[in-house]
Amino acid sequence: AQSVTQLGSHVSVSEGALVLLRCNYSSSVPPYLFWYVQYPNQGLQLLLKYTSAATLVKGINGFEAEFKKSETSFHLTKPSAHMSDAAEYFCAVSGTGNQFYFGTGTSLTVIP
């Protein structure tokens, strides 16, 4: 069975500060991990995905995530937050089959 846990339902950072959104996964098979972003009244947009090719994955808008098997983590980071980064972020895992399991989301607030 697969699942993800996102630590912190709300995260606030100052503009220009480091963004760190936490995601831990549980999977009985090699996981495929994803980060999605959702802006108000919109669907989910793929930020990046881990498919075992490289442990450090770079995505759009300056985001990246590192897969750490020993810690069962896939945390999302961005060196410098921008006001436009304010949104809801979801971590997801996909194993066998095509069923995705999403975390409960982290709402990111960027303080000017």
Partner 1 sequence: KAGVTQTPRYLIKTRGQQVTLSCSPISGHRSVSWYQQTPGQGLQFLFEYFSETQRNKGNFPGRFSGRQFSNSRSEMNVSTLELGDSALYLCASSLAGTGGTDTQYFGPGTRLTVL
Binding site for partner 1 (CB under 8 A): 32, 34, 36, 41-46, 49, 51, 90, 94-105
- Please identify, using beta-carbon distances, which residue of 9 and 80 lies nearer to partner 1: 9
Q: Which is nearer to partner 1, 43 or 112 (CB)?
A: 43
Residue type, 8: G
Q: Smallest distance, Å, CB 39 to partner 1?
A: 10
Residues near 74 by beta carbon (within 8 Å), at least 6 away in sequence? 23, 24, 25, 33, 35, 50, 65, 66, 67, 68, 91
C-beta of 22 vs 49, nearer to partner 1 = 49
